[in-house]
Amino acid sequence: MAATMGFARRTISQVFTSNFVHCKRCLALGVRFKSTESQFTPHGNDESTHFGYENVSKEEKTKRVHEVFTKVAEKYDVMNDAMSLGIHRIWKDYFMQKLTPMPGTKLLDVAGGTGLIRVILANSKKMKNLESWPQNPTEAEGDTSSSDEEGDSHHVTVCDINKNMLDVGQKRAAQRGLMEGISWVEGNAEELPFDSDSMDAYTIAFGIRNVTRVQKALDEAYRVLKPGGRFMCLEFSEVKNPLVKNAYDLYSFQVIPALGQILAGDWNSYQYLIESIRKFPPQEEFAYMIEEAGFACVTVENLSGGIAAIHSGFKL
């Protein structure tokens, strides 16, 4: 096992970055993600879905996913450490660097449970400029301010459907003295309890693949964002590099469930989480779904050969 983990770590620690770009105003930048290429039906009426490799009703999936995260809440970050060999912390740090929220930003972090994104944001010193996040992505220069008139303090709302995850996040934030400028809200990504056009940025990290109705969650993300607001998603994805894929598949199916049993006494939850990654739409397909929700200038950036990917889009 140690040899396998060592080989996997050496292999996937190299960050391979590639981009798939589509902008409705800039078709020359990329390729159109056609619905005919999709095997995932965003607006399908079928009431069945998958829980890992098992077909279940959508209501049953919601129930089971809730049970999984109730079980793993205390070990959630350890779980992500196991699934990514600790690299998820580097990915999340890079994820927030890409967003670079400025003072006054209202950030909604969905499925943010344990609040790690909030910790990374609090530790960030890059709160002055927003060069990587223009208010109007079609303009290279101009006023990029999205600050509220009330002041320069940014505010983060962590929203999660699972109360256990929120409890763990609040506890850790309190221990780190990071409770200022943060709200904790129990809510469903498919029916967000927030006003339309109320948020400057929407982030979701390693959460959207566990949502029962993904397209509905994307529609909700679009609804709550202000015009000019940015959607960003970090998620495990389809590995593009053959060498990385072979090593990662071996590690995923042979090692991670065993680690789940050792670390948390829970094989099945970790087995589901691996299967959920394999069932999630590949990068190009998910990018199309983001466009279907109304977002423009959608981009995809692969990390570590596609083990994870950052999806970004703007509400114009």
Task: Cite the annotated binding site for S-adenosyl-L-methionine by residue number.
Answer: 114, 160, 188-189
Cβ neighbours, 10 Å, residue 300: 25
d(CA 50, CA 222): 25
Cα 64 to chain centroid distance, Å, stands at: 20
130 and 102 Cβ atoms separated by less than 8 Å: yes
- Provide the strand spans (E) within 172-253: 182-186, 199-205, 225-236
In the annotated binding site, the residues are 114, 160, 188-189
292 and 22 Cβ atoms separated by less than 8 Å: no
- In the block, tokens 């010193």 appear at 125
- In the block, tokens 């409770």 appear at 179
Adjacent-strand bridge partners of 106: 155
83 and 274 Cβ atoms separated by less than 8 Å: yes
